[in-house]
Structure 1
Amino acid sequence: MCRNIPTRGYVAENMGRTVTTISDLIDSGQGLWLEGLAGEHATLSLLADNRQGHSIAGLSVTLDACDRVLQAGKVFDQLIQEKLREGFYGGRLAMELLIADALHAANLMLPNFQKSGGLNGWVAVPYSPLSTNDTANMPETVPLDDARYRQPNLMISIAGLPSRLPTIESLITLNISLNIGLLFSSLQLRAVAETILQAFEGCLIAGRKPSSSCFLTIPVNRLLAGFSHLFPEKSAVACVNAVLLEICLVARDLFETRRWQRVMEFGAQRPRLVCSFAGSIELCRSNLSLVREIGAVCSVAARCQDSGSSVPDRIPTVPDGKAGHRDQQQQSASGSICAGIDIEMLANSLQKDEDDALLRSWISLLDTIARKSAALTAVCHV
């Protein structure tokens, strides 16, 4: 999600600016989701030490970040050697590295998770795009019987594609928490929300309390890229603002319906929105007040090319009593701004493109691991 993430030397050089910017957001009361961490958790550790991560709702260990760290140094070398001796290779070895990395982060965030009663402190681990397409076997491939992977603040990242909805329902039924991504429209969000609700209702019918937590991620920065192919920058930003507003309002109304209220009365957690801006400063400035109003989490890159300017220093606030008026104004404006655009066709196209990119990232990671494994094996035989 955050492209061109720098190497290790940049982290030490720019740590202060990264933490300062994130701290400013924390001071403003904004919940955060950090992206792009893998192998090295200096940023997270510093945040945990200095702030106890009060507003860090969660973070994502990503395929691209893991691939980058593997290529850049020896962070994973010892673990790879251990797993090779245990007979792991290919996709299984990749998952071992990703989950071990996520567990490291989850342990750092566990005090925050416990202190917030499970509201904050989550860590999302990516799963193989190949496995998540296997609806029948995906739940079985999650190592539920391994105590290491039952960390209470660990969740699985999965794309909210139509083909993955049965898998999402199965995982929630198994009480696995999820970070569901690639939601580009209100219809896509509705489909995922209905799947989550059905899974919760299934738990209640079976006499079990629904215990999964779910985050729904909207890649706002990718929406901007999609609209930028159709409009000049200013108009593209206006379209994104309108689409994001519609998604947020639909989510708010959905979770206030009687069916949702009923499952929440029996212990189900309301899904939380994550709005990923990934360095798009204009989108941050124009939408962060909306994000705060609906209680969504703002996703920022933990380390990106210009950490000090990836998000605004302070979040603008909305005067009391203005929210309802603005809803009406922007809903009216959204119809004219996006007139003539098939939003759903664009959303489906973006979803497919991003899912294809995830598959390419997985293949690249497997290739890097294969080369790294071969090199380490050769050294051992010298």
Structure 2
Amino acid sequence: MSATRDLHDLGQSLWLDNITRDMLGDGTLAAHISDRDVTGLTSNPTIFEHAVAAGDAYDGSIRASVEAGKDGEGAFFDLALEDITRAADLFRPIHDKTDGVDGFVSLEVSPQLVRDTAATLAQAKELHARGDRPNLFIKIPGTPEGLPAIEEAIFAGIPVNVTLLFDAKQYLAAADAYLRGIERRVEAGLNPQVASVASIFISRWDVAVKDSAPEGYKNRLGIAVVQQAYVAYLELVASARVQRLLNEGARPQRALWASTGTKDPEASDTLYIEAFASPLTVNTMPEKTLIAFADHGKVGEPLARDGGDSEQVLAAFEAAGIGVDALAERLQQEGADAFQKSWDSLLEQIATKSQALTA
């Protein structure tokens, strides 16, 4: 049995953190589904930036958008929705088989809206309506300004992938926004089954402290942060608040481990996949990491339900002068800035191609 099948059988969903028009057209994504147990897909501005820059696969879509009088953001969402809806259709059998638990694809709102609650909500509604797929997640950042938009989107019945979460505190704030939206639906007599995942980013923790980690603690901070978040997740799912909603027909928001590609060339290329094996969760991974794990990964003991040695690890970093709470806030801001930079570069690429294609 393959490592990917072992992880799937443990109860964790394997999602691909990548999308390109080529992989949709040449059967690569279909092969990941059939051969490597992939049951969902995520995207972000950086992924689309690289995809558009890679060749001419999107030139036809860009030309069509220009001819329709669209540019910049409008042209991007046209081509993104083409890819995302094709991927959603590939995953639709999984979504149907699991009765709406799995088989999702994700499309992110514009990073330019990260501090604008009303505009984020409006765009989430627009993109979900245009996508017109039951297995489409709209990604909304779990920033302070994003939390009200998450609640309102859930109340409106829009499945949400909460992105840019970095620790247990940020996760719980996002989970509370999700639960408020579900509770309001119950009070209004609406169907409480609105799917959501909460994406906690991992590898950026270890990148941030690679030159300042205490002796013997290299590449351990990200794992410790996830251990803490996993405890918070399990406690929330077992809480009276969530149990009441489950009794009304709701389903729990699943934790998703994101940014799980290993950045340290000296570390195992499957480090974060093997460390985060855990039921009722999702692990979304870069294509390179997925292939590596399918080739030589191993599933050992599941993630500790009691936090394991995370308290000791976090204490060691605090003793070394690394404020973990402050670092989580910094990483969230840096993550938002990175997506903004990719977004700007993406729109520049589309503008350049638009000019060339219409010259």
TM-score range, shorter chain: 0.7 to 0.9
Query: CA 1:331–1:141 in 2, change beyond 3 Å: closer, same or farther?
Result: closer
Tell me which residue corresponds to 2:276: 291
Query: CA 1:323–1:80 in 2, change beyond 3 Å: closer, same or farther?
Result: closer
Q: What secondary structure, in the 3-state scheme, does the structure 2 residue paired with 1:368 have?
A: helix
Contact 2:42 2:284 in 1 (8 A): no
| Aligned residues: CA RMSD | 2.8
Task: Give me the whole-angstrom Cα distance separating, in 2, the residues matched to 1:63 and 1:136.
Answer: 21
Contact 1:285 1:312 in 2 (8 A): no
Contact 1:248 1:294 in 2 (8 A): no
Tell me which residue corresponds to 1:10: none
Task: Give me the whole-angstrom Cα distance separating, in 2, the residues matched to 1:108 and 1:275.
Answer: 23
Query: CA 1:369–1:242 in 2, change beyond 3 Å: closer, same or farther?
Result: same
Contact 2:203 2:261 in 1 (8 A): yes
Query: CA 1:310–1:123 in 2, change beyond 3 Å: closer, same or farther?
Result: same
Of 226-235 and 186-195, the range deviating more from structure 2:
226-235
Structure 1 residue 294: Cα displacement? 4.4
Q: Which runs of 5+ in 1 are unaligned?
A: 1-19
Query: CA 1:144–1:335 in 2, change beyond 3 Å: closer, same or farther?
Result: closer
Tell me which residue corresponds to 2:30: 45
1:317 to 296, 300, 303: 300
Task: Tell whether 2:343 aligns with 1:358.
Answer: no
Percentage of identical aligned residues: 27
Q: What secondary structure, in the 3-state scheme, does the structure 2 residue paired with 1:339 have?
A: helix
Task: Give me the whole-angstrom Cα distance separating, in 2, the residues matched to 1:202 and 1:135.
Answer: 19
Q: Deviations over 1:137-175 (max 9, x none)?
A: 333334559865220111111221112111111111111
Task: Give me the whole-angstrom Cα distance separating, in 2, the residues matched to 1:347 and 1:143.
Answer: 29
How many residues get paired? 348
Contact 2:108 2:138 in 1 (8 A): yes
Task: Give me the whole-angstrom Cα distance separating, in 1, the residues matched to 2:5 and 2:316.
Answer: 33
Query: CA 1:333–1:369 in 2, change beyond 3 Å: closer, same or farther?
Result: same
Contact 2:164 2:199 in 1 (8 A): yes
Describe how 1:24-173 pairs up with structure 2 within 5 A: 24-29=3-8, 30-40=12-22, 41=24, 42-48=27-33, 50-51=34-35, 55-142=37-124, 144=126, 148-173=130-155
Please report the TM-score for the alignment, with normalisation by the length of structure 2. 0.87
Structure 1 residue 343: Cα displacement? 1.1
Tell me which residue corresponds to 1:13: none
Contact 1:182 1:354 in 2 (8 A): yes
Contact 2:100 2:135 in 1 (8 A): yes
1:174 to 143, 149, 156: 156
Tell me which residue corresponds to 1:347: 328
Contact 1:254 1:260 in 2 (8 A): yes
Query: CA 1:234–1:124 in 2, change beyond 3 Å: closer, same or farther?
Result: farther
Structure 1 residue 351: Cα displacement? 0.6
Structure 1 residue 182: Cα displacement? 1.7
Contact 2:39 2:91 in 1 (8 A): no
Structure 1 residue 323: Cα displacement? 5.0
Contact 1:239 1:337 in 2 (8 A): no
Q: What secondary structure, in the 3-state scheme, does the structure 2 residue paired with 1:121 have?
A: coil
Q: 1:350 is aligned with what amino acid? A: L
Task: Give me the whole-angstrom Cα distance separating, in 2, the residues matched to 1:233 and 1:108.
Answer: 46
Q: Deviations over 1:198-253 (max 9, x none)?
A: 11111111111223211111221111112224215841323332222111101110
Of 365-374 and 224-233, the range deviating more from structure 2:
224-233
Query: CA 1:128–1:338 in 2, change beyond 3 Å: closer, same or farther?
Result: same
Task: Tell whether 2:204 aligns with 1:222.
Answer: yes
